[in-house]
């Protein structure tokens, strides 16, 4: 089978992206993968067609869309991408026979490219819905539904509707995502919307909660022998509700039964740095972003993984770091908005506790539950749930069922 994957971010010589695992699962099963991706100005990769891990990759030159870039420049670059993708695909993949077109959100701005490809090839189209835009931008205050920003919102909303229409199937990250999409898009046939969650390769071996790893971690960061170690790893920005995370660390800084490790980078990193430097909590450490291999060593030696999401979200997000934790065999503390179902999934399957991300006392209660719980058994259930639901084998089976 020939599969075309259309996306903005894709792996480079330096950085792997989340979709690598799923695409490599197709490759490992004999499918041919062709990629059309953005080659952002200054990324260091050569534009044009190249080979990568058994896949054919077309890197299409585009303007700056990530990092330190102005809103106007980003907006223009984003809006121009659709025509650039369409032209490049016509040039380099014009004779390609395609059976399946896979594409994630973001962005929704490539809708005309997908329409063109579907009409030309007759291939099945499958949307991996990872980001419900533009509503997430409204939740974060980046867009409004009225005024000048309201005009942008309405334009993006039309593209979102068109994206859903051109998709034969829509794979959502969780049941709450499916419910949200159908409730806010009554025109969509419910039969074409399903759960197709984030997925990765499972570890080659079942996670080993090594005593040596734990001792090394505790020695390196001066963690008391019996303290329960909580880990947060990932982006540190507005979507993660970093102000609430700081409040929680401050409320717990006299608790010698627990220790918090925060690893990451992002626009709100400075808030955590200021807290750690000014208040010098004995039970918290802030670490800069590190390669995934190094991060996984820390994750394997911690006791509980933490998820934080901004309370004002009205869309049910599902951060991929959830998989990092449960694939390491550790339970999760989930602090989110009311519509996210990640905490419900963790509690219903007995591998975590949840609280709302505007309730510090709820966070304190959840921490105490972990202190007194059998975390090893919870971690075992987390590992089993991961293995049953979030592997690339499962993801590919869901997609190919159509």
Q: What is the pLDDT of residue 390?
A: 94
d(CA 283, CA 249): 9
Q: What is the pLDDT of residue 9?
A: 78
Q: What is the pLDDT of residue 178?
A: 95
Q: What is the pLDDT of residue 131?
A: 84
DSSP 57: E
With a cut of 70, list the residues of the chain below it in pLDDT: 12-17, 42-44, 65-75, 207-213
Domain boundaries, the chain: 2-196, 211-389
| Matching fold, domains 2-196 and 211-389 | yes
Nearest to 330 by CA among 372, 386, 379: 379
Strand 284-287 relative to strand 124-129: parallel, antiparallel, unpaired? unpaired
d(CA 276, CA 286): 7
pLDDT per residue as tens digits for the range 276-287: 999 999 999 999
* Residue 109 CB contacts under 8 Å (≥ 6 apart), including other chains: 78, 79, 81, 82, 156, 159
CATH 3.40.50.620 assigned to domain 211-389? The reply is: no
Q: What is the pLDDT of residue 333?
A: 98
Q: What is the pLDDT of residue 346?
A: 96
Domain 2-196: homologous superfamily in CATH: Glycogen Phosphorylase B; (3.40.50.2000)
Q: What is the pLDDT of residue 43?
A: 63
d(CA 346, CA 363): 15
The two three-digit tokens of residue 187, written as one number: 């025109």
- DSSP-assigned states of every residue in 95-137: T---SEEEEEES-STTHHHHHHHHHHH--EEEEEE---TTHHH
Inter-residue contact 224 to 256 (CB < 8 Å): yes
d(CA 87, CA 61): 11
Nearest to 330 by CA among 292, 365, 301, 289: 301
């Amino acid at each position: 089978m020939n599969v075309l994957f259309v996306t903005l971010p894709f792996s480079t010589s330096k950085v792997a992206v989340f979709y690598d695992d799923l695409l490599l699962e197709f490759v490992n099963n004999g499918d041919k993968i062709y990629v059309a991706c953005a080659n952002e100005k200054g990324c260091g990769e050569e534009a044009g067609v190249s080979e990568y891990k058994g896949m054919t990759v077309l890197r299409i030159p585009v303007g700056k869309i990530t990092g330190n870039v102005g809103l106007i420049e980003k907006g223009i670059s984003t809006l121009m991408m659709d025509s650039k993708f369409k032209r490049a695909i016509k040039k380099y993949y014009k004779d390609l026979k395609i059976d399946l077109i896979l594409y994630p959100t973001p962005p929704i701005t490539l809708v005309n490219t997908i329409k063109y490809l579907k009409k030309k090839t007759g291939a099945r189209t499958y949307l991996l819905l990872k980001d419900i835009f533009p509503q997430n931008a409204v939740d974060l205050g980046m867009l409004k539904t009225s005024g000048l920003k309201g005009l942008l919102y309405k334009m993006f909303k039309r593209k979102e509707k068109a994206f859903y229409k051109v998709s034969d199937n829509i794979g959502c990250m969780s049941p709450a995502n499916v419910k949200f999409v159908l409730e806010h898009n009554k025109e969509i046939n419910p039969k074409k919307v399903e759960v197709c969650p984030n997925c990765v390769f499972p570890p080659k071996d079942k996670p080993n909660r090594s005593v040596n790893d734990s001792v090394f971690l505790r020695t390196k960061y001066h963690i008391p022998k019996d303290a329960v170690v909580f880990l947060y790893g990932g982006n540190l920005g507005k979507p993660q509700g970093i102000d609430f995370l700081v409040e929680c660390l401050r409320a717990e800084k006299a608790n010698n039964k627990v220790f918090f490790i925060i690893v990451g980078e992002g626009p709100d990193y400075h808030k955590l740095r200021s807290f750690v430097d000014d208040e010098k909590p004995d039970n918290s450490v802030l670490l800069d972003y590190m390669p995934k291999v190094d991060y996984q060593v820390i994750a394997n030696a911690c006791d509980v993984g933490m998820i934080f999401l901004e309370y004002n979200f009205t869309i049910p997000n599902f951060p991929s770091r959830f998989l990092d934790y449960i694939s390491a065999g550790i339970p999760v503390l989930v602090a989110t908005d009311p519509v996210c179902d990640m905490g419900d999934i963790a509690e219903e399957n007995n591998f975590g506790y949840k609280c709302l991300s505007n309730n510090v006392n709820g966070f304190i209660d959840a921490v105490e539950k972990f202190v007194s719980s059998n975390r090893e058994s919870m971690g075992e259930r987390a590992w089993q749930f991961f293995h049953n639901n979030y592997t690339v084998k499962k993801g590919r089976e869901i997609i190919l069922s159509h």
